[in-house]
Amino acid sequence: MEWINVILQGVLVGGLYAMFAAGLSLIFGVMRLVNIAHGDLIVLSAYVALVVAQTLGIGPLTALIIVVPVMAMIGYALQWFVLNRTLGDDLLPPLLVTFGLSVIIQNGLLTVFTADSVKLQAGPIEVATIRLAEGLYVGVLPLLQFAVAVAVIAGLQLIFYRTAIGRAFRATADEPAVAQLMGLDNRHVFALAMALSLAVVAIASVFLAVRANFDPSQGPARLIFGFEAVIIGGLGSLWGTLAGGLILGVAQAVGAHLDPGWQILAGHIAFLIVLAARPQGLFPKVRT
């Protein structure tokens, strides 16, 4: 029973990791860009949520209404003015520019908010639990977080495969020059993709902010978790990314249960095992 609880907690937090990963995976799928500042943008978004919630006196979930569009606009502008210039065959420019961005965001947040860790209060929902079975309790918030994660992945899947903009994303990713012939401005398509990615980041960040304390230095760890989830799940598949997040969450939960100091290490080891045994990931999308 104890172990079931552990695994359940791992699954639920895995949803959060899947959300971190979804934004990363989307960007890489559309424009072959790995955003090193992704984790820092999650943290930035958490601070935005904090400021919005505290200034307006509203709850975190309500704050989403403002935070999501704000982050989406930041994403669009970031891609349009900065990251679009780095795209190309060489992978160094985007890597280095996003690395620079990561440093700027982290230190900017440090300057404005100091290194003190903070947390977004959500009220009584934070401690509410539901009893699933004898001795098996699950928090309402983690459950909600998991449900939202699944909804986000399903939503992205819908956008990519059932809408015109999704077609535009896939076509531009396939053949950017030919996509132009269809009347699609690549710069705009990429900027929309980044906006979407940061919208997902915004949702994830609110749950992150409510779940535990955060501070400006936590970005890189979120990036790594997101990345590990993508690799474990397999490139190119959004549902794979969800699976990857869940597996990572469970690995960490198991590790933490054995020894609290092993939590993150257990996740890394799970990642390395997948890398060693099945480098293409567990559910890769096979492209003909």
| Residue 227 sits in the site that holds another protein (CB under 8 A) | yes
Is residue 220 at the binding interface for another protein, with CB under 8 A as the rule? yes
The residue within the footprint of another protein, chosen from 136, 178, 212, 258 (CB under 8 A), is 178
Q: Pick one of 107, 121, 129, 213: the residue that binds another protein (CB under 8 A).
A: 107
Q: How far is the CB of 230 from another protein (least distance, A)?
A: 8
Return d(Cα 275, Cα 120) in angstroms, integer. Answer: 36
Name the amino acid, one letter, at 191: A
Among 67, 196, 223, 232, binds another protein (CB under 8 A): 223
Output the smallest distance, CB 203 to another protein, in A. Answer: 23
User: CA–CA separation, 159 vs 286, rounded Å?
Assistant: 20
| CB 99, min distance to another protein, A | 6
Q: Which of residues 49-88 bind another protein (CB under 8 A)?
A: 82, 85-86
Contact 178, 186 (CB under 8 A): no
Pick from 31, 48, 44: which is nearest to 83 by CA?
31
Shortest distance, position 182 Cβ to another protein, whole Å: 5
- The CB-based long-range contact list for 184-190 (8 Å cut-off, 24+ gap) reads 187/80, 187/84, 189/30, 190/30, 190/31, 190/79, 190/83, 190/84, 190/87
- Which sign, positive or negative, has the C-alpha torsion 216, 223, 229, 80? positive
Element (H, E) at 87: none
Tell how many helices (H) and how many strands (E) occur in the chain.
11, 2
Candidates 14-22, 67-75, 90-98, 116-124; binding stretch for another protein (CB under 8 A): 90-98
* Residue ranges in contact with another protein by CB under 8 A: 28, 32-34, 36, 82, 85-86, 90-97, 99-104, 107-108, 110-111, 164, 167-168, 170-171, 173-175, 177-186, 220, 223-224, 227-228, 231, 261, 264-265, 268-269, 271-272, 275-276, 279, 287-288
